[in-house]
Amino acid sequence: MTGMAKRKQTSEGGHGPLRRRGGADARSEPGSAETTKREGSRGASELSAGTGGTGGRREGVGLPAPLVTLPDDDPALAELAPLIARLGHRFVRPALLRAALTTPSWVNEHPAAGWPGNACLEFLGDAVLGLVAADALWRRFPTLGEGDLTRLRASLVSEAALGAVAREIALGERLFLGRGDLKSGVLERDGTLADAVEAAIAAAFLDARASGGDPLAAAAAVFDALLGPRLRAMLENDILLRARSLALGGAEALFKDLHPLVRFQNGALSLDQSLCNGDDGDVHLGGRGLLLMPSAFVWPRLSTILGAPWQPTLAYTPRGVANLWIVDPPPVERSLELLLGQGRAAVLLSLEPPSSTLEIARRLGLVASGVSEHLSVLRLSGLVESQRRGRFVYYRLS
């Protein structure tokens, strides 16, 4: 839109590749200074490659020693195919994913099985996930300060967020748990599921590196496959609703419920000083327009980008963000239940944020075929709309 916006400017916010070193003279005598130097260089290069001193075996390049020799012929690996499809990375060695799903309690009960526990994979995955999330957020919000980016990253990779996506892909059903863990109900805990997500991301990272691929790209692919669809569906739903408001009621309707402290009057958009960082003042858009960008991570504030050379941008909280990581179904009002029936009313209320048939079924504890039937009726009645994204169809309130 054109016009004037009250200025609330936010503040702006490498490492090189590891190089293998060595190349000592092969004619050096054993025990000489040159030989010692060469052996020390070789040891350092093996450590940086992560082989754990395996002598550079091709299949172990880039892998810590406990993961070099895994039971790659384990028949159970074939059962991981559906999960691999959901993770967005084609594993060259599915055994690495199997290791990521193996808890220490299971290893203690099966010491001769040849599988290590996933604790160190969780350790690596936590760091890789933090890097991937930080990179994605900084590219998306290039002018945000360190504090805001840190807060956004913490929200994105929180136990609640990772636990929710783990439940959506039924990751807990694939975990190898000891009998004690099964009895104690660890699968009900977000922490257990979040650890499994981190371990799976680490497995994709190591699988790509060991096979000559880009490890960070592989980790980012898993990150996007797990978190991307739900986020995109919610954001697109908000964009559609605001486009309708603009078409039917103009700019006043568009900004009416954007935020309680945002006001549009006489062609000017006013933002309360408490909403965002930066200096006070007026910014004349001069025909450049104002880009509205829904973001799941700016609540309860707004984020503005108003200084040159950036496109004037206002990032705001979209509808449905409060339910983004909630797995439990919302309570059904009695009047809606009487009108639609208990099951259909529950399905309708579960569409904040937009969800797929399988997500709704898992959330409500219903069979997918029954949910699909309810969605068909709700769509025919005009209460629900559908949109395909990749292999999934997401349903949202009309």
What was the pLDDT predicted at 346? Answer: 83
126 belongs to the catalytic site: yes
HSE value, Cβ hemisphere, 13 Å, CA-based, for 214: 7
- In CATH terms, the fold of domain 77-229 is Ribonuclease iii, N-terminal Endonuclease Domain; Chain A (1.10.1520)
Average pLDDT over residues 303-329: 70
Per-residue buried b or exposed e for 78-91, using 16+ beta carbons within 10 Å of the residue's own CB: eebeebbeebbbeb
What was the pLDDT predicted at 18? Answer: 32
**Which is more confidently placed, 397 or 93?**
93
Sequence-separated (6 or more) residues with CB below 8 Å from residue 274: 261
**Which is more confidently placed, 280 or 162?**
162
Question: What whole-number distance in Å separates Cα of residue 342 and Cα of residue 374?
Answer: 11
DSSP state of 102: B
**Which is more confidently placed, 118 or 16?**
118
Mean pLDDT over the full length of the chain: 76
DSSP state of 17: P
Q: Which of 46, 126, 181, 207 is catalytic?
A: 126
Q: What is the pLDDT of residues 227-265, one digit of tens each?
A: 877 677 777 777 877 887 788 788 888 888 888 888 888
Q: What is the pLDDT of residues 1-22, one digit of tens each?
A: 434 444 333 333 333 333 333 3
Average pLDDT over residues 48-67: 57
Every domain range in the chain assigned CATH 1.10.1520.10: 77-229
Every domain range in the chain assigned CATH 1.10.10.10: 328-397
224 belongs to the catalytic site: no
Average pLDDT over residues 329-342: 68
Question: What whole-number distance in Å separates Cα of residue 147 and Cα of residue 155?
Answer: 13
Q: Which of 122, 168, 190, 198 is catalytic?
A: 198
Question: What whole-number distance in Å separates Cα of residue 263 and Cα of residue 306?
Answer: 17
What's the predicted TM-score (pTM) here? 0.59
CA distances for 157 relative to 47, 128, 161, 326, 365, angstroms: 29, 11, 6, 15, 26
- In CATH terms, the fold of domain 328-397 is Arc Repressor Mutant, subunit A (1.10.10)
